[in-house]
Chains A and B, each alone.
Chain A
Amino acid sequence: MVDRLTRGPASVSDLARPLAMSLPAVVQHLHVLEASGLVHSEKLGRVRTCAIEPVALRAAEGWIAERRTAWEESLDRLDEYLAEHPDEPPKRSSNE
């Protein structure tokens, strides 16, 4: 649903059409998205139009991408570290 909205605003029935979800289920899902701040909707006459909140989406993607990137960097450094230190270092004498 978020994927569809990233391509532009859509009405609730437009959103429901390609999904194997009942209209009430779609509406409920939209409520969750609205509550999370990812989506806002506006009622024009009888049609409710939904649109993405670009700032919220960027923030969300930003954090997730940041976490993933941080781990990828660390895991690459682990590779470098292991290549430079193929043997286990001697166990420290002061065991806990």
Chain B
Amino acid sequence: MSDTATNHATFVIERIYAAGPRRVWRAWADPDEKFRWFGPRVLTKPEHELDFRVDGIERMTVQAPDGALYTFAARYQDIVEGERLIHTYEMYRDDARISVSVATVEFEPAGAGTKLTMTEQGVFLDGLDTPAEREHGTRELLDTLATHLESAGDGA
């Protein structure tokens, strides 16, 4: 019962901010500031930690309306102050890993403001082969086996 699939994708998002690069950078690098825009809108007391340095980690778990816990777990791979940051991150839904990505964020002056370019390259996992699904699949298989043995028993 393996329903695994890997899907690779790249996407790029661009934004222009009125604030200058130094200001925008700070909103990414400062844990308190980062949480203000990256954390959930509705405060559900999520845990958020950010250790903004190369090899530092960031982690945040947020509860979705359906009760599932989504975890963002990142590691900072490259930081060039005010210019770019690269982090690799995984997303989890409860205990199931749903994506593994490299995200590059670049900051460039644009007049008085900042052009931010985010490039994400990721492998998006099926989301189907979660432990719960796997358990379900195994149980189905065992049920089938039981039924099969029963009918075989009848024939004997």
Contacts and interface: CB of A to CB of B under 8 A. Distances in A.
Interface string B76-94: 0000000000000001000
Interface of A is mostly: helix
Given A64-B11, A78-B27, A89 B127 contact: no
B127 to A, nearest CB: 6
Given A37-B4, A71-B13, A75-B116, A64 B124 contact: yes
Contacts of B23: 82, 86, 88
A72 interface: yes
B15 interface: yes
A59 B5 CA distance: 9
A63 B15 contact: no
A42 to B, nearest CB: 19
A80 B33 CA distance: 12
A68 to B, nearest CB: 5
Contacts of B125: 63
A56 interface: yes
Interface of A: 36-38, 56, 59-60, 62-64, 67-68, 71-72, 74-83, 85-86, 88-89, 92
9 contacts: A38-B5, A67-B11, A76-B15, A79-B15, A81-B33, A81-B37, A82-B19, A86-B19, A89-B30
B57 interface: no
B26 A67 contact: no
Interface in B84-130: 91, 98-99, 101, 116, 118, 120, 122, 124-128
A74 B101 contact: no
Given A36-B6, A79-B17, A60 B24 contact: no
B55 interface: no
A62 B98 CA distance: 11
Contacts of B128: 59
